[in-house]
Structure 1
Amino acid sequence: MAPALIISVLLATALTPAPSDQDRLEACLGAIQDDAEDAYEDALTWRHQGGGWPAEHCVSLALIALGQEAPGALRLREAAMGADMASDLSRAIMLGQSGDAFLIAEQYEQARISFTAALDFAPHDSELLSGLARTHLALEEFAAAEDAASRALSRNDASPSLWRLRAEARLALQSYDQALSDIEAARALSPDDIDILVLRGRIIDARRTG
């Protein structure tokens, strides 16, 4: 299963299909973790029975879990954009999952499209802003990554990963003092995180020699 995607019943309860489809969606999403191939087949059957966007959501996530990240991500984005009866939250979640899958597939321009579309539905969501920041970093758009991470931190300053994201962007921008301040904030929240400690070492070395 694609490691960066969180597919859970908790996530399913954040979605808003018709009440008659809610239980089936939760069951379908839960089944992906047990047997993605069976879940994919069941979701296809559901879709052919008129399951609409909830069924297509599950089909797409099952594809992603089966290692078909880019095709699944594209289907997920198309499902979200066509889900006129879904809530803004539902569409933002699906588009954010699409962006995450495109990041796994290293299709960064496509990830940008998905995260940007997701933010149209949930403009202040820190997880979506984090995804956009990661996308900008992958594209080496460091000022944009810093901006997206800053916007995310304004909504959630208790996330060590967000502080680390902005520190990485600021390191690339050669803003060493700011990067060090950010990585120290990340380390205070998660003192044993290896990625944070490695990035801190890189910042200190760049600050000393830069």
Structure 2
Amino acid sequence: MLKRAALLGLMVVATPAFAEDIDYSGCVSMVDRSPQTAERKAAEWQTHGGGGAAMHCHALALYALKRYDEAARVLDALGRNRDVPKGERAALFQQAGAAWMLSNKPRDAVASYSSALSDLPNDMATYADRARARGLMKDWKGAEADLSVVLGQDSNRADLLVLRASARWAQDKKADAASDIVRALEVYPDYPPALLERGKMKFSAGDNVGARKDWQKAASSGQGETAADAKRYLSSLPR
């Protein structure tokens, strides 16, 4: 769920002529109870001087309704409002990026995350998020660069080591990719995503026995997409 931080720079309460009980916290609470009602109320509130607070509540309601594309557009528009304090603009762009990702628009997500980094250049979580978006675009060089920034600050992120290994492998940097997997398994022994990637590397090198062993372990200990991918790879191996 998107972060529900108050927009301190743009808190505007609706006029009594519209609805005395509508304010940011009340609107956000309404998102939990009835996102449809919150979406309608927030849209009305915007037309009655609700400003940034109304826009943000509207985005939260759209997100809750899984209208991710619309939510991202509202968040991006709000982030571009120069009256919003810099730190809050970055948070809005981060939220827009998350919504773009759920809307399967990684290129737009990259743009939003880049805007967030312009205002908050040392935010490692945003670098990691942008790397994931770049990976979906098959911008492997960009993904590797972003992941290297984060891993330069914390070399014990097994999840990001696996992602960088994948990006490096796609660029035919096989030795560097293998090194990342070795490091990931040092940090987190038998880490299912790392086993999945190592199995792919072994299979590429013709080591079907080694690949099978890694994928079997990933399938049995992994969850979700990792386990499903491992089972799919296993089914493709010759008997």
Q: Which amino acid aligns with 1:60?
A: A
Q: Percent of aligned pairs with the same residue?
A: 27
Higher relative contact order (CA 8 A, sep 6+): 1
**Unpaired runs of 5+ in structure 2?**
14-22, 208-239
Offset at residue 95 of structure 1 (A):
0.7
Higher Rg: 2
Offset at residue 34 of structure 1 (A):
4.5
Q: Which amino acid aligns with 1:41?
A: R
Partner Cα distance (1:25, 1:182) in 2: 45
Corresponding residue for residue 3 of structure 1 = none
Query: Equivalent residues in 2 for 1:122-201 (5 A)?
Result: 122-191=120-189, 194-201=192-199
1:64 partner SS = helix
Q: Which amino acid aligns with 1:121?
A: D
Corresponding residue for residue 93 of structure 1 = 91
* CA shift digits 1:125-145 (9 cap, x unpaired): 112111211121111111111
| Maintained 8 Å contact 1:37/1:62 | yes
Corresponding residue for residue 2 of structure 2 = 7
Partner Cα distance (2:32, 2:188) in 1: 28
Q: TM-score, normalised by structure 2?
A: 0.70
Corresponding residue for residue 56 of structure 2 = 57
Partner Cα distance (2:38, 2:194) in 1: 37
2:80 partner SS = helix
* CA shift digits 1:64-83 (9 cap, x unpaired): 2212111221121011101x
Partner Cα distance (1:36, 1:191) in 2: 43
* CA shift digits 1:123-167 (9 cap, x unpaired): 121121112111211111111110011112234444333222212
Corresponding residue for residue 17 of structure 2 = none
Partner Cα distance (1:26, 1:158) in 2: 38
**Unpaired runs of 5+ in structure 1?**
1-5
2:138 partner SS = coil
1:153 partner SS = helix
Superposed CA RMSD = 2.9
Q: Which amino acid aligns with 2:43?
A: L
Offset at residue 119 of structure 1 (A):
1.2
* CA shift digits 1:18-75 (9 cap, x unpaired): 6777xx5455445434532233233224323322212212211321221211122112
1:124 partner SS = coil
| Maintained 8 Å contact 1:32/1:39 | yes
* CA shift digits 1:162-207 (9 cap, x unpaired): 222212211211222322332344445555654343223223433x
